[in-house]
Structure 1
């Protein structure tokens, strides 16, 4: 054949999707080397492109750059010319640009928890089937869920015990009240719902109860209570969850790389992911070795933020953003961690953040045992996706977390928006992240520059 476009990409990278979308509108075919499936091709991309971010795009052996460069070439009308020229040449022969002809190395698949069964009347129901019945609108046979008041205190989204007993008898054709109360007790003990202030089990009385899915102040992974021990290794479970979320988000990302989070939140696949995050309740951070804990917490933080955008909406403005990261949380084991606590408490070794003058965990706090001693400045390269391209690592692994963070550091420092050398005025311009967390990189400007130098390559390093 004559001429070939090669794209190095990642499965969940919006910038990659944007570049591929542009080629699709032009009906151009391309060979996709997916680094999510073939991480071993990362080094080929880095040596061939001399760049560490994705996407990287080649017309034959001519390297054109990433999504931003392709867009600029297209706007100037040069992309079509380059394409026509490419078609006049033979296919590339550089082995680094050769798509793998073998299937990707299989990753361990996360096991799914068996659905709990509930016997009501003469029938068996799964959790999902029951909740679908309970949460229907009241007029369509759902539970009478409302905001209720007791002694001038308002209790949002709850129902009344005695009314629920009536409801169970009618909806499930239960013969007598005593049997209906036993069903209510079984559901309460299985933690589908609880007394609003956790003072009573289920009683056939004028008491208020709330479904676990309606707990507004609860961590995001608490729409269901996880029962029993974990069924997966922590890293395997988390990779499975991230993959689930990534697939739904990708489905609702347009060709410009913009995500429709409202559409994501309504997708049944997202609902399944949201319930499945309850497995995080079965892990313990303190029992993980440091490399596992580091990789786990980076991946969990990145997942939590997207989960939060979908469940709560994308925050706008400084106040909303501060509140978002300060409240958004997961329960791991029996301890709650907000996004800020994962970042500053665990990954930065319990250092105070730029927005607060105090350390996150007191020594008496059980979460203090989960901090990573001394922290690691490289986490700043991994916790945020860039505006124009992504680091070529999306899933950090316990085995190779150090090498993966080093590559993400190079990808971060490669972008002029993050680090720019002004030779004429002998000045070094750093992104907000590096300015805010400067103390993680060194105690003086000179020390910070020296720390960052180890991630700079080529011309930037010489400057």
Structure 2
């Protein structure tokens, strides 16, 4: 018999671990319980046998009554079901009373407990519950994103399985003042046990190496956490920070939105929805602002530059006459934009570099808190319920009318790499991860953000912006057509290392990371090295004279050198062991066969 699948069941006064062997059960008893197992894609879920004792419900948890169902097949069947349930409830109550019978010493009688099971494929192990010590102390520490010492403190607490509260100053800038008041400076990390300051990483290492950490915890273990200890961040409460400055055109837009006739029209043999003519907008501006026609046309151009309105075909900026325009909120792509929540952000657009830094800090904090140490697995449920993610969703609304043309080359590269990776997390949370080929289009092409007045998907960022508007794999068309305004942001030359910095929520993709514009080239090289070191990265088989490369290189072969030159290019990003094998393979002048690894599309849970 193969190793059984363990299932732990808690009983009132004991811990019984019941181990099922699914194969043995299914082979010897096709369906002993009537509904024992459910087959799933990733395995089999085994349900407890009907003859096994049932665990008690947690205190305070009431079982939902089905005595009065919402839907009846017939009155007679409903009445019969009601009496059957009540009869079962009485029987269960009698059983519980009898099980509580005590002997003369006041101890519970164990003769009535189940001692023997005659079930095929079931193994019962009776173990005593292990007492656990409740830790009342609140461990909290102040941190910043991308801080090596903060990562060390976080890893230490996780290894010791200690619950902690992290207060990231980059996510909660209002708490920086509290940090200064409590510690006398702004350096991080700063660790607290309740209200008592322990210090930074050096102080923590000193306690650990000196064997004083346990004593320090025991010292305050039984004390209640006082009110003056650092408070955990509260979900849903924004701090008093920078007040949004309304765009100077916002009041004008607010008026003309209500006054301009918005209709469906036909132009150039095409049906366009929710639009108005340039002449109608000009007339309304003249009437509302009491200005001349030339001034009204100039205001219309400013509205177009600030992405309040767009030409229906993107042909021109703004002109008076029979040219049709629509407001940003009426664009056809808006329903698919997940950083748009009903209304346009009328605030004055913030500096693109500042917004980029803010997004990077928040997403780095999310990954540090909810990813595994190797960053190959993410806790999406934890992310979706976190205050950090709520703030991220608020910040991405600032991208709606932002001007990305002000970014430098490296700033733009870091912005789009980080945006791609953060959008992938958002897409998994909002629409789910694609289970197959058919589901990949909604994930990679239909999930969008409106950025600078234009829609961007994962596909358009990777292939349209970062790959210089090249066709995606297995596609015949480019992401952006001629005349598309987004081409102004497209890179003129492809940087092949970008493929190792982009993450798409699969186990086969490189690990998730967020980049800073400073030193981004070296960070991309580091990402490539880490990816090639994996089992599904680069492998060298000397016996077969074969080099196994990641499937990503095959899909985007147009971005890399010729296939026969790939071993010489890739050797620069290998560790000493693999580089030595590959050098030995290429040293005799013979040819190396190139093969590509399979790609794992499963979600990185």
Under a length normalisation based on structure 1, what TM-score does the superposition of the two structures give? Answer: 0.52
Residue 379 (structure 2) pairs with residue 259 (structure 1): yes
Deviations 1:154-186 (A, max 9, x none): xxxxxxxxxxxxxxxxxxxxxxxxxxxxxxxxx
Gaps of 5+ in 1: 1-8, 28-33, 37-85, 89-110, 117-210
Measure how far apart 1:431 and its partner are.
1.9
Contact 2:353/2:407 (<8 A) preserved: no
Q: Which structure is higher in RCO with an 8 Å CA cutoff and minimum separation 6?
A: 1
Contact 2:345/2:398 (<8 A) preserved: yes
Residues 254/461 of structure 1: CA separation in 2 closer, same or farther (3 Å cut): closer
Name which of 429, 432, 438 aligns with 1:313. 432
SS at match of 2:455: strand
Deviations 1:252-289 (A, max 9, x none): 6689954143x543445533321221111232334433
Measure how far apart 1:314 and its partner are.
2.6
Contact 1:349/1:376 (<8 A) preserved: no
**Distance in 2 between the 1:450 and 1:278 partners?**
45
Name which of 436, 448, 453 aligns with 2:571. 453
What does 1:337-356 align with in structure 2 at a 5 Å threshold?
Answer: 337-356=456-475
Residues 448/317 of structure 1: CA separation in 2 closer, same or farther (3 Å cut): same
SS at match of 2:496: coil
Measure how far apart 1:19 and its partner are.
7.0
Measure how far apart 1:294 and its partner are.
1.2
**Distance in 1 between the 2:559 and 2:372 partners?**
37
Deviations 1:85-118 (A, max 9, x none): x999xxxxxxxxxxxxxxxxxxxxxx745388xx
Gaps of 5+ in 2: 1-144, 163-167, 171-207, 211-240, 247-328, 582-605
Give the number of equivalent residue pairs. Answer: 290
Please report the RMSD computed on the Cα atoms of aligned residues, expressed in angstroms: 4.8
**Distance in 1 between the 2:156 and 2:440 partners?**
31
Which residue number in structure 1 is paired with residue 120 of structure 2?
none
Residues 272/399 of structure 1: CA separation in 2 closer, same or farther (3 Å cut): closer
Residues 16/302 of structure 1: CA separation in 2 closer, same or farther (3 Å cut): farther
Under a length normalisation based on structure 2, what TM-score does the superposition of the two structures give? Answer: 0.41
Residue 580 (structure 2) pairs with residue 462 (structure 1): yes
Residues 24/235 of structure 1: CA separation in 2 closer, same or farther (3 Å cut): farther
Deviates further, 335-344 or 409-418 = 409-418
**Distance in 2 between the 1:449 and 1:359 partners?**
29
Residues 351/417 of structure 1: CA separation in 2 closer, same or farther (3 Å cut): same
Contact 2:463/2:471 (<8 A) preserved: yes
Name whichever structure is richer in helix by fraction: 1
Q: Radius of gyration: which is bigger?
A: 2
SS at match of 2:335: coil
Measure how far apart 1:301 and its partner are.
0.7
Residues 347/253 of structure 1: CA separation in 2 closer, same or farther (3 Å cut): closer
Residue 24 (structure 2) pairs with residue 24 (structure 1): no
What does 1:283-298 align with in structure 2 at a 5 Å threshold?
Answer: 283-298=402-417
Name which of 356, 360, 365 aligns with 2:484. 365
Contact 2:468/2:490 (<8 A) preserved: yes
SS at match of 2:482: coil
Name which of 238, 241, 264 aligns with 2:356. 238
